[in-house]
């Protein structure tokens, strides 16, 4: 999550101070990504260091204002122009869990899938309730919620797919796949078959 | 507690015999109260549509009972079943919903007229049903003069015309784009919030999420249930707001 670019986007609309930035950031994203004021000041420090924003005086109450620089503006527009890559996000714990569940004997994979799906669906219901209550003119908040809605939906579709794949595997091979043995003298069965098939 | 609008008790449906016997539904227990929207999800062939047909008395169960507003429909004569369907139950399907030769208001008035209400009174009641969901302006349009989303909203108005309180909807948003589909679900949700009961069959989680409760069918059995939620502030409190 790019706090840096979020703050630059706010500063692009005029000089602001830390608490103001935090409050505006949260109201734009409907508090989906809460910030503490410490994160805001740390980020402002980095923006200053990198020449993307700079201090712009204080008001009577001692609030230090920051304003965006030309370099900051270029950085902001580059951010809007670039698609977001998901490649660097942490590996998905759920995918790892299922990958493990289908290979470890004695795990009820179907139950794992079902529990996860019911859980994700409850989250999806919650997002949908929030959507029902969202003000019609608050497009920013609605789009943020819909982002969560579509992500949850994608996860549920993937879980449906997993369930179907597992059911199909269980039809063809009723016994759960055993762990590969190390010393059975046939380490290349899978690899060999694949290679043969490709030739 | 008041009588549920729909109650399924130990419902089962088997097709065929011997080798070709297929158990489409097995031991389904479900209740839907007034004001409740229930979504049914599950893969193709899991029994979703069979469940809806049985709930609406369009098909008869092999075992178990279906009660609509406390009346067991399984034991009724065909004539009384048909009368109950007209008075208590409305259907919304993916397509082929409206009769092309009738206007929106005539479509919505049809169940009442079939039940013997005078044309004038049926029309007034149908206009009220259209007005309740904000589409009285479409009253005199024919189906081919309306968008898919508008037609589905008319179908919901017809499903809930007069005293009817139960809507059975089978993939009502199937042919619609995401924004239009959502508008249809908002209408369904609003009618439930106003006291109707609805069962929504869908394969889209995004649409099922409008329901108070979501159940999953697999191979004819209920395998999962999100449960009823009274006030769900859980998410913002925990997962999102941190």
Please indicate, yes or no, if residue A185 is contained in any of the structural domains: no
Co-location of A166 and A97 in the same domain: yes
Phi and psi at B66, nearest 5°, equal -120, 125
Would you call B216 and A126 a contact, using CB atoms and an 8 Å cutoff?
no
Co-location of A99 and A57 in the same domain: no
What's residue A108's pLDDT? Answer: 85
What's residue B229's pLDDT? Answer: 60
Please indicate, yes or no, if residue A20 is contained in any of the structural domains: yes
Query: Residue B235 pLDDT more than 50?
Result: no
Please, which residues 105-164 of chain B have a Cβ atom closer than 8 Å to chain A? none
Each residue's pLDDT tens digit, A166-191: 888 877 765 555 555 454 444 444 43
What's residue A125's pLDDT? Answer: 92
Interface of A with B (CB under 8 A): 31-32, 34, 114, 117-118, 120-130, 132, 148-150, 152-153, 156-157, 160, 163-164
- Give the closest-approach CA distance of B224 to chain A in angstroms: 7
What is the residue-wise DSSP string for B210-224? TSSEEEEEETTEEEE
Residue B41 and residue B32 in contact, taking contact as beta carbons nearer than 8 Å? no
Would you call B225 and A121 a contact, using CB atoms and an 8 Å cutoff?
no
Classify the C-alpha dihedral B171-B198-B90-B118 as positive or negative: negative
Please indicate, yes or no, if residue A8 is contained in any of the structural domains: yes
Q: Which residues of chain A have pLDDT under 50?
A: 1, 181, 183-199
Co-location of A108 and A157 in the same domain: yes
Query: Residue B220 pLDDT more than 60?
Result: yes
Would you call B241 and A34 a contact, using CB atoms and an 8 Å cutoff?
yes
CA dist B180 and B149 (Å) reads 6
Longest dimension (CA), chain B: 59
Final residue of a structural domain among A81, A109, A126: A81
Q: Which of B222, B196, B221 is nearest to B212 (CA)?
A: B196
What's residue A199's pLDDT? Answer: 36
Q: Which of B39, B9, B10 is nearest to B197 (CA)?
A: B39
Among A79-83, A172-176, B87-91, B151-155, which stretch is predicted with the lowest mean pLDDT? Answer: A172-176
Co-location of A11 and A75 in the same domain: yes
CA dist A162 and A177 (Å) reads 16
Co-location of A31 and A64 in the same domain: yes
**Looking at the DSSP assignment, which residues form a beta bridge with residue A17?**
A65
Would you call B205 and A152 a contact, using CB atoms and an 8 Å cutoff?
yes
Position B24 confidence tier, pLDDT thresholds 50, 70, 90: very high
Co-location of A124 and A164 in the same domain: yes
Q: Which of A93, A92, A68 is nearest to A5 (CA)?
A: A68
User: Which of B204, B227, B235 is nearest residue A123 as measured by Cβ atoms?
Assistant: B235
List, in sequence order, the alpha helices (H) in chain B.
48-55, 78-88, 104-114, 119-132, 148-159, 178-193, 205-208, 234-235
Co-location of A41 and A62 in the same domain: yes
Would you call A125 and B214 a contact, using CB atoms and an 8 Å cutoff?
yes
Which chain B residue is nearest to residue A110, measuring alpha carbons?
A: B223
Sheet of B6-15: strand order equals B22-32, B6-15, B63-68, B71-72
Co-location of A129 and A151 in the same domain: yes
Please indicate, yes or no, if residue A193 is contained in any of the structural domains: no
User: Which of A124, A130, A148 is nearest residue B205 as measured by Cβ atoms?
Assistant: A124
Rg of chain A on CA atoms, in Å: 25
Which chain B residue is nearest to residue A112, measuring alpha carbons?
A: B224
Which chain B residue is nearest to residue A124, measuring alpha carbons?
A: B209
What's residue A1's pLDDT? Answer: 46
Residue A80 and residue A37 in contact, taking contact as beta carbons nearer than 8 Å? no
For chain A, how many helices (H) and strands (E)? Answer: 8, 3
Please indicate, yes or no, if residue A36 is contained in any of the structural domains: yes
Co-location of A46 and A76 in the same domain: yes
Domain that holds residue A109: 93-172
User: Which of B205, B218, B241 is nearest residue A156 as measured by Cβ atoms?
Assistant: B205
Final residue of a structural domain among A53, A81, A109: A81
What's residue B237's pLDDT? Answer: 42
Q: Is A137 left (phi over 0), alpha (psi -120 to 50) or beta?
A: alpha
User: Which of B189, B205, B234 is nearest residue A126 as measured by Cβ atoms?
Assistant: B234
Position B27 confidence tier, pLDDT thresholds 50, 70, 90: very high
Does any CB of chain A come closer than 8 Å to the CB of residue B214?
Answer: yes
Chain B neighbors of A120, CB-CB under 8 A? 205
- Give the closest-approach CA distance of B72 to chain A in angstroms: 31
Phi and psi at B203, nearest 5°, equal -105, 5
Does any CB of chain A come closer than 8 Å to the CB of residue B225?
Answer: yes
Does any CB of chain A come closer than 8 Å to the CB of residue B208?
Answer: yes
Q: How many structural domains are present in chain A?
A: 2
Distance set, CA A192 to CA A169, A184, A189, A197, A199 (Å)? 21, 15, 5, 8, 11
Kind and range of the H or E element at A151?
helix A139-172
Please indicate, yes or no, if residue A184 is contained in any of the structural domains: no
Please indicate, yes or no, if residue A48 is contained in any of the structural domains: yes
CATH number, domain of A51, equals 1.10.10.10
Would you call A121 and B205 a contact, using CB atoms and an 8 Å cutoff?
yes
**Average predicted confidence (pLDDT) for chain B:** 87
Co-location of A76 and A106 in the same domain: no
Position B137 confidence tier, pLDDT thresholds 50, 70, 90: very high
Co-location of A56 and A101 in the same domain: no
Residues 6+ apart with CB under 8 A from B147: B180
Co-location of A108 and A150 in the same domain: yes
Supply the ipTM of this predicted assembly: 0.76
Would you call A128 and B242 a contact, using CB atoms and an 8 Å cutoff?
no
Query: Residue B6 pLDDT more than 60?
Result: yes
What's residue A31's pLDDT? Answer: 66
Please indicate, yes or no, if residue A190 is contained in any of the structural domains: no
Bigger pLDDT: B29 or B179? B29
Residues 6+ apart with CB under 8 A from B34: B2, B4, B5, B165, B195, B196, B197
Would you call A121 and B234 a contact, using CB atoms and an 8 Å cutoff?
no
Chain A neighbors of B209, CB-CB under 8 A? 121, 124-125, 127-128, 149, 152
Each residue's pLDDT tens digit, B95-126: 767 999 999 999 999 989 988 899 999 999 99
- Burial class of residue B166 (count of CB atoms within 10 Å of its CB; 0-12, 13-18, 19+): buried
Chain A neighbors of B241, CB-CB under 8 A? 31, 34
Chain B neighbors of A31, CB-CB under 8 A? 236, 240-241
What's residue A34's pLDDT? Answer: 77
- Interval B59-77 mean pLDDT: 90
Tokens of B200: 């929504």
Domains assigned to chain B: 6-240 (3.40.50.300)
Final residue of a structural domain among A17, A48, A81: A81
A67: number of Cβ within 10 Å: 15
């Amino acid at each position: 999550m790019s706090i840096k670019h979020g703050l630059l986007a706010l500063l692009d609309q005029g000089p602001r101070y830390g608490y103001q930035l935090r409050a505006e950031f949260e109201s734009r994203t409907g508090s989906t990504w809460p910030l503490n004021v410490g994160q805001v000041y740390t980020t402002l420090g980095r923006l200053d260091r990198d020449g993307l924003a700079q201090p712009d005086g204080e008001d009577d109450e001692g609030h230090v204002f920051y304003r965006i620089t030309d370099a900051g503006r270029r950085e902001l527009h580059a951010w809007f122009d670039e698609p977001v890559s998901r490649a660097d996000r942490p590996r998905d714990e759920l995918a790892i869990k299922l990958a493990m569940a289908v290979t470890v004997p004695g795990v009820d994979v179907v139950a794992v899938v079902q529990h996860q799906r019911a859980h994700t669906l409850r989250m999806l219901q919650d997002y949908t309730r929030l959507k029902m209550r969202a003000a019609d003119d608050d497009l920013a908040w609605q789009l943020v919620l819909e982002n969560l809605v579509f992500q949850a939906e994608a996860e549920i579709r993937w879980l449906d797919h997993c369930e179907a794949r597992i059911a199909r595997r269980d039809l063809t091979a009723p016994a759960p796949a055993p762990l590969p043995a190390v010393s059975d003298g046939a380490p290349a069965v899978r690899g060999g078959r694949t290679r043969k098939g490709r030739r | 507690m008041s009588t549920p609008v729909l109650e399924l008790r130990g419902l089962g449906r088997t097709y065929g015999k011997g080798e070709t016997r297929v158990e489409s539904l097995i031991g389904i227990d479900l209740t839907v109260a007034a004001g409740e929207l229930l979504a049914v999800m599950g893969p193709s062939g899991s029994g979703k549509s069979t469940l809806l047909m049985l709930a609406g008395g369009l098909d008869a169960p092999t075992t178990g009972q279906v009660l609509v507003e406390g009346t067991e429909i399984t034991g009724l004569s065909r004539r009384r079943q048909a009368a109950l369907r007209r008075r208590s139950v409305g259907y919304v399907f993916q397509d082929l919903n409206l009769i092309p030769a009738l206007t929106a208001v005539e479509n919505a008035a049809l169940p009442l007229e079939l039940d013997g209400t005078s044309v004038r009174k049926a029309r007034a009641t149908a206009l009220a049903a259209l007005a309740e969901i904000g589409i009285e302006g479409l009253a005199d349009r024919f189906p081919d003069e309306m968008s898919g989303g508008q037609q589905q909203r008319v179908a919901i108005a017809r499903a809930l015309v007069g005293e009817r309180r139960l809507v059975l909807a089978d993939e009502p948003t199937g042919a619609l784009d995401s924004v239009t589909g959502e508008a249809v679900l908002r209408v369904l949700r609003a009618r439930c919030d106003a006291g109707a009961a609805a069962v929504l069959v869908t394969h889209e989680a995004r649409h099922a999420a409008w329901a108070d409760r979501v159940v999953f069918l697999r191979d004819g059995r209920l395998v999962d249930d999100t449960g009823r939620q009274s006030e769900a502030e859980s998410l913002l409190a925990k997962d999102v707001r941190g």
